[in-house]
Chain A
Amino acid sequence: MNVRSKMRGLLALGAAAAVVLPFAACGSSSANTTTISFYSYFAKNQIGTVVDDFEKANPDIKLDVSYGQNPSQYVQTLQTRLAGGKPPTVFNLTMDNRTDVMNSGAAMDLKNESFTKGIDPANFQLFQQDGKTYGMPVTAWFSGMFYNKKILAAAGYKTLPASWDEFIAMSKKIDASGKTAYLEDFNSQPSPSLAGLLGSSYGKKNDTNPDNDIWTGKATFSENWKEAVNEWDQGIKEGAIPQKSIGVSGDQIKNEFVSGNLAVYRSGPWDISDLAQSGIDYGVAPMPAVKGAKPWITGGPDQGFAIAAKASAKEQAAGKKFLTFLNSKQGLKDFTSAAGTVSLSSKYSSTPAKEIASLVNDYLKKNHAYWINWGKSPTAMSTTMIAEQQQLVQGKITTSQFLKALDDKWKTL
């Protein structure tokens, strides 16, 4: 081929720097070890121990791991590798790429694999299509409202109010005292407080499969999200969601909380050790709810693990061993304790830190946890949602324009 011969020419040039060659050539494994590649969505300090312990338990398998930097970079790199015909043996189905990867047939069907046992079938829902299962989640994430007890007490509150209306009233009191009541990061994700309102709104209707009607086309955002979005907009108008939240990162919000300037923020297990070090006296509560509803938390199953359909039988066998290890007592213990997540499997019951145990026991385990898991084109939808949210907070659009924008985008995808 023409391309090939030209590449060869370049190769010859490149060989001038002959130092490279020995490095390029090495990496071949000895006869009885299988090396498989794993492209991880999870960071090294979350899943690194799992990898190490897996290799200890399976000396004949070596995992060649690389880590994604952020959700969108992960999706982009994985897509390039899949489309280029060099898929990693094991990879993650994320909330942003699961539908596309499932459609493409890049992941193998895990439906009848014994290693998925112990995980409640409901958790596989996000990774299933046409009767096939393409990914296995082993953990769940969750988050709630963290509040500074001192600031709340000064405003006359012992705990965080359970309803959004009361939350707005409380925000006004706190803001008047010179502190900031609430900040959230809706610059890189859908608004957590809005997600909390949506969850409670679905809970009020006893909808066990939130948003599914929108994904299947039976309902629209304008219908199903109206109540929550209107209440959220009330919060904007009354100052509970300040405009200065735009352009503020999650790290900055945490800084404000730790320095005692901020009364409430959305967080999860990942901040507990820093908060303990800072000596801030804080409490944890679920997300404030819409009128007449019980509060929910934000959370859901984590990214799933998938095996490449194109991998060789030997590699797939090794990949299955890794997934088996992930859904084992040791694997789950390593993973949940490093990542601060909750085991979804009956093979290991993780004990959440006592500060946040109530979120797990009273909400997550009762399925009172919600997050927007777009039914298709997740990145496009969340990008649209983020942009529209910011315009709503800036007062440039109305709630019905916001909902219509989501409906319109959904139709084009």
Chain B
Amino acid sequence: MKAQLMPHRHHTRAANLPDNLSALWFLLPIIIVFGVLTLIPLIQTFFYSLTDYDGYSPNLNFIGLQNYVTIFQDPSLLQALGFTLLYAVSTTLIITMLAIPLAITLNSAMWGRGFARSLFFFLGVPSQAIIGLVWKFIFSPLDTGVLNKFLAGIGLPSVQWLAQDNTAKMCVIIVAVWMQVGWHATLYLAYLQIIPADLYEQSMVDGANGMERFMHITLPQLVPGIAVSMFLLMTGGLKIYDLPYTLTSGGPGTSTNTITQAIILRGIAQSKYGLGSALATLFTIACILVIVLQMKATNSLEKRFA
């Protein structure tokens, strides 16, 4: 046994070095990009977070962890954190549940398929200013709003969509789903292409119905795609800035404020760049935690299906 294994191990070791080296060459560009465009700026941001830098004047003083203390004493930030989490989790779940069936449908035979795919993909493309304009018009609390007119048409009372805390939160999430579902369906569409066709052929022979095929072949095979899509949604959701801003400007009150808005508001609008930087640093750490948790979850999911 031993004698048989030896040459094999030898062989792997010898092959390891050039392989590792090639891998390094391929990774080098992204390491440079990451170092220059992310790591160095991030270190600077951390540095600013320990100062009273105002973002304008060249003078700054070290104030230690004072900025971090200020953050933990600010109740409005908890509110922002709450909505950001609600937004990130709910858009991730809803979009995933809608995008997979959409992708499967767009992958099946139908007329005008290219056109439909293009339309769905393009929903979120126009600028935020336009999306805000159109959806404000749809969700208008006035009786002349598109949705309220529709409700009146079927005999229901009008709803003050953007004028109430809970409905405003819901509106932001609905628009986010609308914007992104087509693009994530496109992503799943790509993943559907690497499911080996013989899996389906075999199941046809076994007489499985559509639902069984979906549960036992499509879904397990899509797990890597689901992991990618959910990761994108989660990170994107935690970073969300533009959408609530254009739709509600954070209102009513502060109910749809997000963490990124808080970073910008404090860092730039209040000329407390140091405080904004501290918030950004904490936010990055929080994101890492959320993502590690999510990775753990998807990993165990992948193992279960594999």
Q: Indicate if A65 sits at the interface (CB-CB under 8 A).
A: no
Interface range for B: 35 or more
Q: Indicate if A379 sits at the interface (CB-CB under 8 A).
A: yes
Instruction: Please tell me which one of the listed residues B36, B136, B268 contacts residue A247 in the complex, with CB atoms under 8 A apart.
Output: B136
Beta-carbon contacts under 8 Å, A81-115 to B: 82-83, 96, 100-101, 103-106
Interface-facing stretch out of A52-60, A155-163, A380-388: A380-388
- For residue B141, give the distance in angstroms from its CB to the closest CB of chain A: 4
Residues of A within 8 A of B264 (CB): 76
The answer for the CA separation of A188 and B136 in the assembled complex, in Å, is 14
Instruction: Please tell me which one of the listed residues A105, A380, A388 contacts residue B270 in the complex, with CB atoms under 8 A apart.
Output: A380
**Residue from A180, A183, A249 having most chain B Cβ neighbours under 10 A:** A249
CB <8 Å contact, B253 and A247: no
Instruction: Please tell me which one of the listed residues B36, B140, B268 contacts residue A79 in the complex, with CB atoms under 8 A apart.
Output: B268
CB <8 Å contact, A247 and B163: yes
The answer for the CA separation of A52 and B43 in the assembled complex, in Å, is 44
CB <8 Å contact, A380 and B168: no
Q: Indicate if B290 sits at the interface (CB-CB under 8 A).
A: no
Residues of A within 8 A of B168 (CB): 247
CB <8 Å contact, B56 and A7: no
Q: Indicate if B33 sits at the interface (CB-CB under 8 A).
A: yes
Q: Indicate if B87 sits at the interface (CB-CB under 8 A).
A: no
Known: A79-B268, A377-B270, A383-B269. A245 touches B144 (CB 8 A): no
Q: Indicate if B57 sits at the interface (CB-CB under 8 A).
A: yes
Q: Which residue of A lies closest to B250 (CB)?
A: A387
Q: Indicate if A413 sits at the interface (CB-CB under 8 A).
A: yes
Cβ contacts B256-278/A at 8 Å (1 or 0 each): 00000000111011110100000
Cβ contacts A1-44/B at 8 Å (1 or 0 each): 00100110110010000000000000000000000000000000
Interface range for A: 35 or more
Residues of B within 8 A of A259 (CB): 144
Known: A252-B140, A390-B253. A9 touches B32 (CB 8 A): yes
- For residue B172, give the distance in angstroms from its CB to the closest CB of chain A: 11
CB <8 Å contact, B253 and A6: no
Tell me the A residues contacting B by CB distance below 8 Å.
3, 6-7, 9-10, 13, 72, 75-76, 79, 82-83, 96, 100-101, 103-106, 180, 183, 187-188, 243-249, 251-252, 255-256, 259, 261, 377, 379-380, 383, 386-388, 390-391, 394, 396, 413
**What are 29 pairs between A and B in contact, CB < 8 Å?**
A9-B32, A10-B32, A10-B36, A75-B268, A76-B268, A79-B55, A79-B56, A83-B273, A100-B55, A104-B56, A104-B57, A187-B251, A244-B142, A244-B160, A244-B163, A246-B163, A247-B139, A247-B161, A248-B162, A252-B137, A255-B144, A259-B144, A379-B268, A379-B269, A388-B253, A390-B253, A394-B163, A396-B253, A413-B270
